[in-house]
Amino acid sequence: MVDEAINKAQGKSFTVHAPGTVANMVCGFDVLGLALNDPYDIMTIKLIEEPTVVIHNIDSYDLPTEPERNVTGVALLEMIAQLDNKTGFDITIEKRIKPGSGVGSSAASSAGAVVAANHLLGNIFKNDDLVQMAMFGEKLASGVKHADNIAPCIIGGVTLIRSIMPLDIISVPSPPLYVTVVHPQIEVRTEDARQILKKQILLKDAIRQWGNIAGLVAGLMKSDYKLISRSLEDVLIEPVRSILIPAFAEVKAKSLEAGALGGGISGSGPSIFMLSKNEAAAFAVENAMQEVYTKTGIDYHTYVTTINTQGVKVVE
């Protein structure tokens, strides 16, 4: 089957769009994530004979091109090993998701690449296999395997990662939601943002957190916006990590005043995201975020988008 897939893929090339993602969704550290319609990375892939990965970066981020040091590279090397080293890949990457921004830049690089490669090979791998391969990228980027960016990037929508060993990923249906993001132009390394977390938590805090996670999932499945809103609370991670993000408390307070359902740190930050029920609220939240950040003097970007229900998309 592998030989046939490789033969058929000769001379072909495909381009994909790999979406940004919001991991954690406030209360679901490492277990919940959603995919965004904007921003996304663009990647084009083709086969090469040698069992290695040749990386061409066509953006300004100067990421390493040695496959062992690049999140795309390690994910594709894992796929090559599973193909018994019978082929390699040449990939051109235009990153539009800034590395270290907190909207799943590394996940888009690794997940986009394995989906593109799988498409080239006639989809011989299952989504779970692709998630496993892409997690090698997360391990390189943050020191730990986690799938709360990878899974929504590949599958789209809101995903629950009940377990990574064994892998157990559940798509959670969601009502229409708008996502407003502010990205202060500072870098927070996921590895650092994980190291500062407490290793032990109090039972009373754990109870509050799992009540919120269950409430959020139930709220999404029942399209109950009020339940979604009151479940967007994080008593474990946000109190520690928010100190890394300038004006976090003010952005949150003003966004809620402007009509957001709720929100918090996107992934490990520094981006902050807010969910809203309708477009008007999402733009009011964007204004509120801009007002707060303009005062700080820190450069920032804001954008309003919606949930991407498709995941990585093959475009040509």
Is residue 100 near ligand HSE by the rule CB under 6 A?
Answer: no
Active-site position among 21, 190, 302, 305? 190
CA distances, 252 to each of 227, 245, 276, 292 (Å): 18, 11, 13, 10
User: Do 246 and 262 touch, CB atoms closer than 8 A?
Assistant: no
Q: Which is nearer to ligand HSE, 120 or 265 (CB)?
A: 265
- CA separation for the pair 228, 226 (Å, rounded): 5
Instruction: Using CB under 6 A, pick the residue from 194, 230, 301, 313 that binds ligand HSE.
Output: 194
Instruction: Using CB under 6 A, pick the residue from 146, 183, 252, 277 that binds ligand HSE.
Output: 146
User: Do 38 and 180 touch, CB atoms closer than 8 A?
Assistant: no
Q: Which is nearer to ligand HSE, 194 or 230 (CB)?
A: 194
Min dist. Cβ of residue 149 to ligand HSE (A): 5
Active-site position among 78, 138, 238, 286? 138
Compose the 268-297 pattern: x for residues touching ligand HSE by CB under 6 A, - for all others.
x-----------------------------
Instruction: Classify residue 131 by burial, with Cβ atoms within 10 Å: 0-12, 13-18, 19+.
Output: buried
Min dist. Cβ of residue 207 to ligand HSE (A): 21
Examine the residue annotation and report whether 87 is marked as an active-site residue of this protein: no
DSSP 142-161: HSS---TTHHHHHH-SEEEE
Write out the E strands in 173-291. Answer: 178-184, 262-265, 272-276
* Lookup: tokens for 246: 């300038």
User: Do 29 and 144 touch, CB atoms closer than 8 A?
Assistant: no
- CA separation for the pair 8, 87 (Å, rounded): 12
Compose the 3-42 pattern: x for residues touching ligand HSE by CB under 6 A, - for all others.
--------------------xx----xx------------
- CA separation for the pair 136, 228 (Å, rounded): 32
Query: Given the rule CB under 6 A, which of 164-172, 175-183, 189-197, 224-232 is the region that contacts ligand HSE?
Result: 189-197
Examine the residue annotation and report whether 187 is marked as an active-site residue of this protein: no
Is residue 190 near ligand HSE by the rule CB under 6 A?
Answer: yes
* Residue 148, CB-side half-sphere exposure with 13 Å CA sphere: 22
* Count of chain residues binding ligand HSE (CB under 6 A): 12
Among 230, 127, 209, 219, smallest CA distance to 174 is for 219
Is residue 139 near ligand HSE by the rule CB under 6 A?
Answer: no
- C-alpha radius of gyration, the chain, whole number: 19
Task: Output the residue with the shortest Cβ distance to ligand HSE.
Answer: 267
Compose the 223-262 pattern: x for residues touching ligand HSE by CB under 6 A, - for all others.
----------------------------------------
Query: Given the rule CB under 6 A, which of 124-132, 146-154, 167-175, 252-260 is the region that contacts ligand HSE?
Result: 146-154
Residues that bind ligand HSE (CB under 6 A): 23-24, 29-30, 146, 148-149, 190, 193-194, 267-268
The residues annotated with a catalytic role in the active site are 138, 190
